[in-house]
Each structure stands twice: as C-alpha cells, then as structure tokens.
Amino acid sequence: MTWISDEAIVRLRALEDRPDFSATRYELLEPLGRGGMGIVFRGRDRELDREVAIKVAAWSTAADADRLRAEARTLAALEHPGIVPIHDAGRLPDGRVFAVMMLVRGERLDVCARRLPFRDRLRLFDRVCDTVSFAHSRGVIHRDLKPANVMVGPFGQVFVLDWGLATSGSDPDFAGSTPKPGSDPTPSLIHGAAVVGTEGYMAPEQSTRNFNHRSDIYALGAMLRDLTSDLDMRSRLLRPLGSVIGRAMAVDPIDRYQSAGDLAADVRRFLDGLAVAAHHETPTERIARFGRTYRTPIALVLAYLTMRVLLVVWGR
C-alpha cells in the first residue's frame, strides 16, 4: 500500500480548490462559497474588465458536469430581474465545467430581514414570489427555496439563487399559473428524480420523490413563516397572515395556493388592509379591519359631524 503524505494531500486539495483558468479570459480571485455541486469564486473578466462570479464543478465527473450545465441552461432560459443572468459557460483543461454569472452583492434575505419592519419583509417576499411565479410560467421548479438562497442587493434588488436542483414540469398544463379549461386542476406529479431539498422547507411529497410547482409554494410558505417568526400570529391583526402561511404549507398539495402569484396576491391584500382569501373573517374582525383600513376618512367624517353638532348647539 502506498501512503500519501499530508503535504501531497494539501497540494491536491489546492489544485481542486484552485482550478487553472489561465487558458480562459477569466482570472480567479477569492472563493465565495462551496456547495455540494461546486465552488463559487469571485473573478474578473479580462476582456470586459468587470468582476464576475465563477462557479466550477466540484470535479470532472459526468454527474457534476451535467448538473452545472443544466443549471447554466436553466439560468440562460430564465431572463428576469430576480434571476442572476449567466454570461458564459465552458470546460477547463482538467475536464471540469464552469459557468460565469453576474456577481451579486448584498445580504441573504434572512440576514437583511432581521433589521426590517415586518411590512418591508413582506414586500421583499412579494418580489421573491414574483420571481418564482415567472420560473413556474416557464415550467421550471426550483426545489430548494429558502431564505439562504435569496439575496437582497444594496439598492433593493432581490435575487433568487442556486438553481442547480431545478427541474422542469412534465405536464403541459404546468406552464401557466391557471390550468387550461377542462383540464385536471392538479398537474401530474414528477416521479423518479432524486430526493432533494432542505429540511424545514422541503414539502412532504418531496421525501417520496413526488413533486410539482406546489412544492415550491410550500417552501415559500416556510420562508414567510421564518420572516414573521418574531410576531405573534395569534393577535387579531396578524391572524390573517397566519392563515396565509397555513394554506401555503398545507400537507396536501391540493389544499395549497394554486400558484405563487395567488400566494403573493393574498400577501398584498393583507398589506393593503383587504380581506385575505385564506382567512375566514368573523364579523368582529371585518369591522376592525374596515376601521383600520379607512381610519383617516372615518376620522374626518366624525370630525365633520362633531363640528356640525357643535355649530347647531352653539346657534341655539
């Protein structure tokens, strides 16, 4: 048996962590993060003199290369302000595949949200839903939505990241947020794929390798749950929002929102002081909500009536 020295292991590790880009137009700078599929570096495009993010497959196995290529093709097909654009893709001399993307600066959603009022958090969440809704309209399911995979830029940009586990829906009715007339309202589940996702955000059906776009809606509900974890959902004011989370995270996919757009619309209704579709209001709650929503005009009318009464009394 031949033993490899610690020094040799360190050198091999350095070669893996620091791929050779000398034959490309890109210069590697420091690593930004490591995942199961590869390493992300901050880099520089020598031709255009700009900083970029460079993702390199973990090693030259066919599975790693195929997954990174699939992610690059997914990003190339999803042109949306909430999805990081891809600039280039290629293969290094050692066989590893790489992808070059826009360098995203900012904070993770869960970090940024800690210092924001809850209404501002909901507005950021609305933009996440918009991005996911766009992906669903193109037949793409993310499968690993969580606050750590959302970045908020310094000027309010919101990006949904890490599409490496994304897959496409197989049902023709999946492409739109509303099923075609006469079609089954429940799109066919996708079978046979590997179990992927993050515990706490992964829909129950994903553990049995059955999923569709409503699995992403469950994850969005879990994100909304985390963004409001410091609030008392039992209060009369926030009870409707708790119902939104409950519907998004329903165990049965059929009981969830039918689309990410429907979920976002209910959150917007809550922000606007309107009735939330997921929540059945009691008469007391309806009156209280009406009073909160229209308190300014109600106060003006009451002030006007009070002045009229005082003038009448004074005149007498």
3-state percent breakdown (helix, strand, coil) of the chain, nearest 5: 45, 15, 40
Residue % of the chain over a pLDDT of 90? 53
For 41-97, how does the pLDDT look when each residue is reduced to its tens digit (9 = 90+)?
999 999 999 999 999 987 656 777 788 888 899 999 999 999 999 999 999 988 889
State mean pLDDT over 210-238.
Answer: 92
Find the range with the poorest average confidence among 4-18, 96-110, 123-137, 261-275.
Answer: 4-18
> Domain-by-domain residue ranges, the chain?
16-102, 107-280, 284-315
Whether pLDDT at 101 is above 90: yes
Q: Which fold has domain 16-102?
A: Phosphorylase Kinase; domain 1 (3.30.200)
pLDDT score of 311:
75
Residue 95: which region, alpha, beta or left (left: phi > 0; alpha: psi -120 to 50)? left
Residue % of the chain over a pLDDT of 70? 78
Model confidence at 140, pLDDT cuts 50, 70, 90, reads very high
The residue among 241, 247, 246, 297 whose CA lies nearest residue 270 is 241
For 233-269, how does the pLDDT look when each residue is reduced to its tens digit (9 = 90+)?
888 889 999 999 999 999 999 999 999 999 999 999 9
- Catalytic annotation on 184? no
The residue among 151, 76, 82, 74 whose CA lies nearest residue 111 is 151
Question: Over the chain, what is the mean pLDDT?
Answer: 83
**pTM, rounded to two decimals:** 0.80
What lies within 8 Å, CB to CB, of 191 at 6+ separation is 209, 210
Q: For 296, how many CA atoms within 13 A lie in the half-sphere containing its CB?
A: 1
Structure token pair of residue 126: 């609305």
| Catalytic site residue from 45, 64, 144, 162 | 144
User: What value does the CA radius of gyration of the chain take, rounded to a whole number of Å?
Assistant: 25
Model confidence at 187, pLDDT cuts 50, 70, 90, reads very low
How many residues are recorded in the chain?
A: 316
What CA dihedral angle connects 65, 68, 70 and 72, to 10 degrees? -130
pLDDT score of 266:
96
Q: What gap in Å lies between CA 12 and CA 23, rounded to an integer?
A: 20
In this structure, CATH architecture of domain 107-280: Orthogonal Bundle (1.10)
pLDDT score of 290:
57
